[in-house]
A and B are shown apart, each in its own frame.
Chain A
Amino acid sequence: MNTTPISVRRDIDTVERAGSTPDVQQPWADLGLKPDEYQRIRDILGRRPTSAELAMYSVMWSEHCSYKSSKVHLRQFGAKQPQTDAMLVGIGENAGVVDIGDGWAVTFKVESHNHPSFVEPYQGAATGVGGIVRDILAMGARPLAVMDSLRFGAPEHLDTPRIVSGVVAGVGGYGNCLGLPNIGGEAVFDSCYQGNPLVNALCVGAMRHEDIHLAKASGVGNLVVLYGARTGGDGIGGVSVLASETFDATGPAKRPSVQVGDPFMEKLLIECTLQMFAEKLVEGIQDLGGAGLSCATSELASNGDGGMRVHLDRVPLRDATLSPEEILMSESQERMMAVVHPDNIERVMHICQRWDVTATVIGEVTNASHLQVYWHDDLIVDVPPRTVAHDGPVYDRPFHRPAWLDARQSDEPTTERCPRPSTAEHMRQQILELLASANLCDREWLTSQYDRYVLGNTTTGRGIAVSLDCNGRFGALDPYVGAQLALSEAYRNVAVSGATPLAVTDCLNFGSPEDPEVMWQFAEAVRGLADGCLELGTPVTGGNVSLYNQTATTAIHPTPVVGVLGVLDDVRTRITMHGAKPADAVILIGATQEEFAGGEWAHVVHGHLGGTPPQVNLVAERSLASVIRDHRHLITSAHDLSDGGLAIALSELVLRNDYGLDVSFADTDADAFTMLFSESVARAVVTTASENVDAIRAACELVGLPSALLGTVTADDFLSITTADGVITLSRAELAEGWSRTFARIMS
């Protein structure tokens, strides 16, 4: 075996050489840079970039890292931020941090890993979980739980089971091995996601206020420590053009561009990092995710005093043949970078050793204003870090309202277009049809593969509730309203647990920003979400944008997935959907209108997508939350109304409990069909002992919310719905029939 380090033989493109060879042709276009972007790099540096600098700029100025198409719109989240004392750290850090009282803070964020999950579903989803967990860890928090919002193609498509089984196994395989309970999420099927599945992963963590850490390198002489997995050739994708340009034919072969996860290493990284935090050994910290060392070094330096010297040859490698450019670009997982005072370095190295984690001092903070990267003795990067990390290109891309939208919005699901059930028996059949549909059926096939029991902890007494929601069809009908409806639903979901919603994270999944119609959808969704958050008083604390989710010219539905975080001051007072007892009264809170456009009934029964989505009513949403929160000691169970409306909520209550329900619509204005299938917002079904009905209804009236006494909880094992056209009776076994079998059928 030839043991001579290959790097010795390499022809290194140094800063000095770049200065003296201005006319060298560089593969900037192959790295995704536009002509004016390349020129801007040359202007910044006053010379051509070295190949290592070109690698850094190209990856950091990519859409994924720089948010160059979305930035101008995302600024609204700051500009329209509601007044709140809860936000301790806002947008721009690894994740936002929210005060939950008593010196405790919670950090949470949702992030996409869509494209890798299509290429390689298991690793794409697994490393998606790994990445978001490190973001939370980097804030100083112990990661507590994960959630995932998943979107797949049509249930009957041949490729769908491949993606679903890979993604679910990846989320489970990684999260289970980290010991983080998976506390929920979404799984949605729609043909618009066929070639563009969405994997959005959320992590939530908790810490004391004084443990909050930021990603910055300051303090001249402080040491830069890289720890965790060794750096390999995974995830370097496009940089191979550089390799082939710079090196001779014996250079490394093309490498896979999807990263491979090692959850065991991540678990060690978590414990080892938390021990460093506990001993107050860390001045600044950053996880290595997209763009790897390029991102971590430039962001740490840019957020700090600006100067940092890095010795790239000290980076521990899995593959000794990697070029400096590849090391800078590698997206090898399970790595962190900490800035440590020299007095603490011995202790940091000791902790890493205790956890069997490789740690290496690869550089130091300097009093220069540049990030300087050396490869052995050669200076190969010499840049102002801010120009890499924060001052990338910003595009105000053209956008316009799609020409087809008027036609779609005027195609309402009228009685002619979408005939409604004419008899009680017909409605009964449609309830069963909805329950057996891909998007409403039991998710046990999926959820049983995730560990939900780990880290039981009641030391603080405080509890948090998190929900992730979106309906892409609403977004397709009206992106402004669609984003607000996603917010509205997530807010309601948190509220029915009795928690007070505090803050928002979002994952904005859209098609190509270069398509003005898609860009309009994006702009509208951001505007809608920012306006909605302002009205609800829940600031956006951070999130992620995923663009280019489209196959050829067909984009996915606008899918702004919204996560809402709420807090309970005493977790024992939380409301579940399981606490009702026979003879309890069933109350519907909220107003029901004839709203079917974009809803499950129109989708499942008629395959129809048209009209205008349900009307947003955030005032009513706030009122609903306050009534439930203030009466949580009286409410025995609660279920929000969303996908599939009241029909699905009532069915789920019977399916997931050992009691029955006997309801009628005598106390309501609308017809039974509208009551059952409408998806009007700001509604929930609550149960309470009969003597408390008046108190709850009076509270609703006080805040202007209509309420209706629907009926009672029974000791039976069926759902009974009395309508003007007769009684609909559905036994638990009948409800379960299609509902419990559909998911397995999709997977077979």
Chain B
Amino acid sequence: MAPRIGVITFPGSLDDSDAARAVRAGGAEAVRLWHADTDLQSVNAVVLPGGFSYGDYLRCGAIAKFAPMMAQVIDAAREGLPVLGICNGFQILCESGLLPGALIRNNHLHFICRDQRVKVETNATSWTADFSVGQNIVIPVKNGEGGYVADERTLDMLASENRIVASYIGNPNGSMRDIAGITNEARTVVGIMPHPEHAIDSLTGPSADGLAFFTSVVSTLTVGART
């Protein structure tokens, strides 16, 4: 049976429909989850989509982390539930403490939307298993507050533990060490600033390179179920 992957809708989520479409294209069943509910509906993984949760009038993601559904996600993620946070979802993961560091205003102070070249740095995560290490992909970046920052010690730790998931080729926003995405110690939680869900076919995206994020988690979950 296809794995069930939850996509949470917060008020102000924008890419939730696209994320659900990408989940289905990756071979899983998309389960729409509502921020105010508390039932994870036995999903096997969760995607936190992009957008402006609660308007992002405070720090991006700072309010979303208090959503009732996020309390469930945070607990389950600590138990090993695979979670992918895209853009605003990445910001929520950092605010929730599931990933280290923070995302700040782009260094050029403008929102930026462009087709971004990204290098996949590791395939040892639940969401990148189907990539090869060093693979160059093109997926859209679109953010106003996408600059990844952390203290030197954290950055060194991420690098030495092979937890930088993807890095920019041509940094769009001033992210430290060109970081586009990172993972947690267990390699189940991934936050990524560019949008793989908008690159699952060449008709609606610049490439189909993003699809492998969604097939990866299906492979990981399926292998997990077999063993």
Taking a contact as CB atoms under 8 Å apart, the answer to whether A176 and B111 are in contact is yes
Chain B residues within 8 Å of A458, by CB: 201, 203-204
> Of B55, B111, B140, which is within 8 A of A453 by CB?
B140
CB neighbours (8 Å) of A179 from chain B are: 14-15, 51
Closest to B15 in A: A454
Tally of contact residues, B, Cβ under 8 A: 30
Write the B180-201 contact mask toward A (1 if CB under 8 angstroms, else 0). 0000000000000001011011
Binds B, one of A24-32, A261-269, A638-646: A261-269
Cα–Cα distance between A452 and B205 once the two chains are bound (Å):
10
Q: Which of A417-425, A443-451, A669-677 contacts the other chain?
A: A443-451
Which residues on B sit within 8 Å (CB–CB) of A571? 203
Docked-complex contact A177 and B18, CB < 8 angstroms: no
A448 and B203: CB pair below 8 A?
Answer: no
Q: Judging by beta carbons under 8 Å apart, are A356 and B17 in contact? A: no
Residues of B84-126 at the interface with A, using a CB-CB cut-off of 8 Å, are: 110-114
Q: List the B side residues contacting A356 at CB < 8 Å.
A: 11
A5: interface (CB < 8 Å) = no
The answer, among A173, A354, A447, A454, for a CB contact under 8 Å with B18, is: A454
How far does the alpha carbon of A448 sit from the alpha carbon of B142 in the complex, in Å? 9
Alpha-carbon distance A458/B198, docked complex (angstroms): 13
A445 nearest CB neighbor, chain B only = B110
Is the pair A264, B54 in contact by a Cβ cutoff of 8 Å? yes
Scan A444-471; emit 1 where CB is below 8 A from any B CB, else 0: 0001111111111110000000000000
CA distance in complex: A449, B57 (Å)? 19
**A172 at interface by CB-CB < 8 Å:** yes
A173 touches B17 (CB 8 A): no
* A355 interface residue per 8 A CB criterion: yes
User: Could you tell me the distance between the alpha carbons of A571 and B201 in the complex, rounded to whole angstroms?
Assistant: 13
Distance in angstroms between the alpha carbons of A454 and B56 in the assembled complex: 18
B52 at the interface (CB under 8 A from A): yes
Residues from chain A with a CB closer than 8 A to the CB of B68 are none
A9 within 8 A of B: no
Which residue from B11, B15, B112 sits with its C-beta under 8 Å from A449?
B112
CB-based nearest A residue for B139: A453
Interface string of A157-194 (1 = CB under 8 A from B): 00000000000010011001111000000000000000
- Residue B12, interface by CB 8 Å: yes
Query: A354–B35 Cα gap in the complex (Å)?
Result: 11
Q: Mark B197-226, 1 if CB is under 8 A from A, else 0.
A: 110110111000000000000000000000
The 0/1 profile, CB within 8 Å of A marked 1, for residues 7-24 of chain B is 000011011011001000
Contact call A449/B113, Cβ cutoff below 8 A: yes
Interface string of A350-374 (1 = CB under 8 A from B): 0000111000000000000000000
In the complex, which residue of chain A has the Cβ closest to the Cβ of B13?
A179
Supposing A179-B51, A571-B203 touch, asked if A453 and B12 sit within 8 A by C-beta, the answer is: no
Decide: A177 near B17, CB < 8 A? Known: A458-B204, A571-B203: no
Interchain Cβ contacts within 8 Å, total number: 82
A456 touches B198 (CB 8 A): yes
B14's partner among A169, A354, A449, A454 (CB-CB below 8 A) is A454
Query: How many angstroms between the C-alpha atoms of A572 and B140 in the bound complex?
Result: 21
Whether the Cβ atoms of A450 and B113 lie closer than 8 Å is: yes
B57 touches A456 (CB 8 A): no
Closest to B18 in A: A456
Minimum CB–CB distance for B108 against chain A, Å? 10
Binary contact readout A553-591 vs B (1 if CB under 8 angstroms, 0 otherwise): 000000000000000000110000000000000000000
Whether A264 lies near B57 (C-beta < 8 A) is: yes
Tell whether, in the assembled complex, residue A264 and residue B11 are in contact, meaning their CB atoms are under 8 Å apart: yes
- Shortest C-beta distance, B95 to chain A (Å), equals 17
Q: A265 to chain B: which residues have CB within 8 Å? A: 55
Knowing A268-B11, A456-B198, say if A451 contacts B113 (CB, 8 Å): yes
Chain A's closest residue to B172 (CB) is: A448
The distance in angstroms between the C-alpha atoms of A176 and B12, with both chains bound, is 11
CB A229 to nearest CB in B, in angstroms, measures: 12
Set of chain B residues within 8 Å of A452, measured between Cβ atoms: 113, 142
Residues in A whose Cβ lies below 8 Å from that of B52? 176-177, 263-264, 267
Residues of B within 8 A of A572 (CB): 203
Q: B48: shortest Cβ distance to chain A, in Å?
A: 15
Nearest residue, chain A, Cβ from B51? A179
Taking the nearest CB of chain A, how far is it from the CB of B54, in angstroms?
A: 7
Which listed residue (A268, A448, A456) contacts B204, Cβ 8 A? A456
User: Which residue from chain A places its CB closest to the CB of B52 in the assembled complex?
Assistant: A177
Q: How far is the CB of A334 from chain B (nearest CB, A)?
A: 11
Shortest Cβ distance from residue A383 to the other chain B in the assembled complex, whole angstroms: 38
Within 8 A of B (CB), among A335-358: 354-356
Q: Which residues of A contact B110 (CB under 8 A)?
A: 169, 448-449
How many angstroms from the CA of A355 to the CA of B35 in the assembled complex? 11
Contact flags A302-313 to B (C-beta < 8 A → 1, else 0): 000000000000
User: Among the interface residues B18, B57, B111, B205, which one has the most CB atoms of the partner chain A within 10 A?
Assistant: B111
Q: A179-B51, A456-B18 are in contact. Are A267 and B111 (CB under 8 A)?
A: no
CB distance from A380 to the nearest CB of B (A): 35
Chain A residue with Cβ nearest B200:
A456
User: Once the chains are docked, how many angstroms separate the CA of A572 from the CA of B195?
Assistant: 23
Report which residue of B11, B201, B204 has the largest number of chain A beta carbons within 10 angstroms of its beta carbon: B11
Q: Which residues of chain B (34-75) have a CB below 8 Å from chain A?
A: 36, 51-52, 54-57
Output the nearest chain B residue to A262 by Cβ-Cβ distance. B55
- Please measure, in the bound complex, the distance between the C-alpha atom of A571 and the C-alpha atom of B205, giving whole angstroms: 14
For A263, list chain B residues within 8 Å (CB).
52, 55
B12 engages A448 (CB within 8 Å)? no
Which residues of A, 246-298, contact B by the 8 Å Cβ criterion?
Answer: 262-265, 267-268
Q: Are A172 and B111 in contact (CB under 8 A)?
A: yes
Q: Give chain A nearest CB distance to B104 CB in angstroms.
A: 17
**CB–CB B205/A453 < 8 A:** yes
Residues on A with C-beta less than 8 A from B111 are: 172-173, 176, 449-451
How far, in angstroms, from A431 to B147 measured CA to CA in the complex?
A: 39
Across the interface, name the chain B residue whose C-beta is closest to A176: B111
Least Cβ–Cβ distance between A535 and chain B, in angstroms: 34
Contact partners of B15 in chain A: CB under 8 A: 179, 454
Contacts of A268 in B (CB 8 A): 11-12
Among residues of A, the one whose C-beta sits closest to the C-beta of B36 is A354
Flag if B113 contacts A448 (CB, 8 Å): yes
- A177→B55 contact, CB < 8 A: yes
Q: Which residues of A contact B140 (CB under 8 A)?
A: 453
Residues of B within 8 A of A172 (CB): 111
Which residues of the partner chain A approach B54 to less than 8 Å between Cβ atoms?
264
Q: How far is the CA of A169 from the CA of B112 in the complex (A)?
A: 11
- C-alpha spacing A375/B189, complex, angstroms: 56
**Most chain B CB within a 10 A radius of its CB, from A263, A268, A454, A455:** A454
Give Cα A172 to B109, complex, Å.
13
The residue in chain B whose Cβ has the minimal distance to the Cβ of A182 is B113
Q: Mark A587-617, 1 if CB is under 8 A from B, else 0.
A: 0000000000000000000000000000000
Q: B203, A453: Cβ atoms under 8 Å?
A: no
Within 8 Å CB of A454, what residues of B?
14-15, 18, 142, 198
- What residues of B have a CB within 8 angstroms of the CB of A173 in the complex? 111
**A residues at B contact (CB < 8 Å):** 169, 172-173, 176-179, 262-265, 267-268, 354-356, 447-458, 571-572
11 A-B contact pairs sorted by A residue (CB < 8 Å): A177-B52, A178-B14, A268-B11, A450-B111, A450-B113, A453-B198, A456-B197, A456-B200, A456-B201, A456-B205, A458-B201
Ranked 3 nearest A-B pairs via Cβ: A264-B55, A179-B14, A456-B204
**Extra inter-chain contacts (6) besides given A177-B12, A451-B113, A456-B205, CB under 8 Å:** A177-B55, A262-B55, A264-B52, A447-B113, A448-B114, A456-B204
